[in-house]
Amino acid sequence: MSTLAKFSLEPSEDGLTPMDRLPLALNIDPGLDGLYGQTLSCAEHLPHFLDIIWAIALLQKPLSIQALSALLGIRTFEIVEVLVKLHAILHVPGDDTTPVTICRSSLGPA
């Protein structure tokens, strides 16, 4: 429910209002896979999307934005641009030194 609320209600740069996003969320296939897919599709066009999401999903220890930047050789503002689009499925910190974490453990490494 928390993920659904974040997707629908939190500010986003997609040009859609919460009232526009709510029907999208309600029409997603049952389960969280559809919501995750919808959220990921909002950022997949951004530069470095795959590198960033793979690093977050596969690393055993969560890294900060600063550490992701150093690891991937990507500027912090480019990482933040991707993370902001993924706020419904990631805990995105308000600073560059706190680790970025996945909202649900089922999305991370096994």
pLDDT tens-digit readout, 42-72: 788 889 999 999 999 888 899 999 999 999 9
Burial of 8 (0-12, 13-18, 19+ CB in 10 A): buried
Check residue 90 and report its DSSP letter: E
CA distance 1 to 110: 23
Structure tokens at 11: 């500010």
Q: Average pLDDT for residues 23-46, to the nearest whole number?
A: 69
Helix/strand/coil percentages in the chain, nearest 5: 50, 5, 45
Q: Is the pLDDT of residue 31 over 70?
A: no
Q: Is the pLDDT of residue 97 over 90?
A: yes
Structure confidence at residue 86 (pLDDT)? 86
Structure confidence at residue 2 (pLDDT)? 63
Q: Is the pLDDT of residue 77 over 80?
A: yes
CA distance 16 to 96: 27
Q: Quick check: helix, strand or coil at residue 71?
A: helix
Structure confidence at residue 29 (pLDDT)? 55
Q: Does pTM top 0.85 for this prediction?
A: no
